[in-house]
């Protein structure tokens, strides 16, 4: 569509980019936070936008605005995905039986992987799935399977009550895993420094806790946590707009300067958490573009 020369429109249009820790999918095991980091001490946003979905970014090209657009950044936020247990995913009749069958396999062969994968598959298929496996989740699932093994004696000997107890125990493990992942958020915001750079010029550089999310599930939910109140007004605002000119490079860096030996600068629990997990950086403001 042709543009109208000399006429611009200004609209409220946030731009965002996310750091993604993939979860298990199609038999591929999940990756950990530290495995996904290309630089062991820095995460760069708005730099790598290829192969990302609209959930991860709304930029069309890396580090620049499309066409001859300009952007006035009025606020910046850091948002992390929260953790929830879609209980219906594990209590439907078919999944219930598959989990019990995988636990029976553990009794006879000692193979834990089929049980863990079955739980991951069920969570992945659940609508709105956002469960993140914490570093201790798999070992807790194994403990639940061991308890089931001790009580059931043999696969054929498991009673309906014992099967119910197994699934309920796994749900308790996942709830505890959510609580564990919620403790990772303080590790992120108190051990990193976030910097907005426009044309290689630092526009702001402060610890990440300075940029509350202003989004997400209420922290009143016992298995979810947020960086700040889930209110779009509860965010950091620039006293003066930060302007990004047409074709001007920009990016946001989240650095972990407190280098810990063997942990690549990222705190241990955060480094070892497995996906799915996303960290978004959002620049909220006004986009000026040609009228079409």
Give the pLDDT score at 279: 93
Looking at the predicted structure, is the pLDDT value of residue 63 above 70? yes
Instruction: Residue count of the chain, please give it.
Output: 292
- Does the pLDDT of residue 161 top 80, yes or no? yes
Rounded (5°) CA angle 97-180-258: 140
> Would the pLDDT of 31 be above 90?
no
User: Residue 208: beta bridge partners?
Assistant: none
Cis previous bond, 238, omega within 30: no
pLDDT tier for residue 57 given thresholds of 50, 70 and 90: very high
Q: Specify whether the CB–CB gap between 154 and 107 falls below 8 A.
A: yes
What is the Cβ-side half-sphere exposure of residue 88, based on CA atoms within 13 angstroms?
5
Q: In this prediction, what percent of the chain has a pLDDT beyond 70?
A: 89
Q: Which residue has the higher pLDDT, 1 or 74?
A: 74
Q: 10 — phi, psi (to 5°)?
A: -120, 125
From 182, 190, 144, select the one nearest 166 (Cα to Cα). 144
Residue 128 confidence class, pLDDT cut points 50, 70, 90: low
193-198/250-255 β-pairing: antiparallel
CA distance 196 to 47: 12
Residue 139's Cβ-count burial label (10 Å; 0-12, 13-18, 19+) is: exposed
pLDDT, residue 256, reads: 92
Cβ burial of 268 (10 Å; 0-12, 13-18, 19+) is: middle
Tokens of 262: 């063997």
172-177, long-range: CB < 8 A, 24+ apart: 173/137, 173/140, 173/141, 173/143, 173/144, 174/85, 174/90, 174/119, 174/123, 174/131, 174/137, 175/85, 175/223, 176/140, 177/83, 177/131, 177/132, 177/133, 177/134, 177/136, 177/137, 177/140
Count the helices and strands in the chain (H runs, E runs): 8, 9
Q: What integer is the mean pLDDT of 258-281?
A: 77
pLDDT at residue 61 is higher than 70: yes
* Range of lowest pLDDT (146-150, 193-197, 223-227): 223-227
d(CA 192, CA 259): 11
Q: Are the CB atoms for 75 and 236 separated by under 8 Å? A: yes
């Amino acid at each position: 569509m042709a543009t109208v020369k000399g006429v611009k429109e200004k609209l409220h249009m946030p731009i965002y980019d996310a750091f993604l820790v993939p979860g298990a999918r199609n038999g591929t095991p999940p990756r950990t936070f530290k495995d996904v980091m290309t630089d062991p001490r820095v995460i760069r946003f708005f730099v790598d936008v290829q192969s990302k979905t609209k959930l991860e970014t709304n930029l069309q090209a890396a580090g620049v605005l499309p066409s001859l657009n300009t952007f006035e950044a009025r606020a910046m936020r850091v948002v992390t995905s929260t953790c929830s247990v879609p209980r219906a995913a594990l209590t439907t009749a078919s999944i219930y039986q598959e989990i019990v069958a995988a636990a029976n396999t553990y009794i006879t062969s000692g193979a834990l992987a089929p049980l863990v994968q079955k739980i991951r598959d069920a969570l992945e298929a659940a609508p709105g799935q956002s469960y993140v496996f914490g570093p201790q989740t798999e070992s807790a699932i194994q403990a639940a399977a061991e308890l089931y093994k001790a009580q059931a004696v043999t696969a054929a000997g498991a009673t309906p009550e014992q099967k119910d107890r197994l699934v309920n125990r796994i749900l308790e493990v996942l709830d505890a895993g959510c609580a564990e992942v919620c403790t990772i958020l303080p590790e992120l915001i108190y051990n990193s420094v976030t910097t907005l750079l426009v044309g290689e010029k630092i526009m702001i550089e402060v610890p990440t806790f300075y940029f509350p999310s202003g989004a997400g599930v209420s922290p009143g939910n016992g298995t979810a946590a947020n960086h700040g109140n889930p209110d779009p007004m509860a965010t950091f605002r620039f006293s003066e707009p930060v302007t990004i000119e047409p074709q001007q490079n920009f990016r946001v860096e989240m650095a972990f300067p407190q280098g810990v030996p063997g942990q690549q600068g990222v705190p241990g629990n955060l480094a070892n958490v497995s996906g799915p997990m996303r960290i978004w950086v959002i620049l909220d403001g006004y986009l000026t573009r040609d009228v079409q």
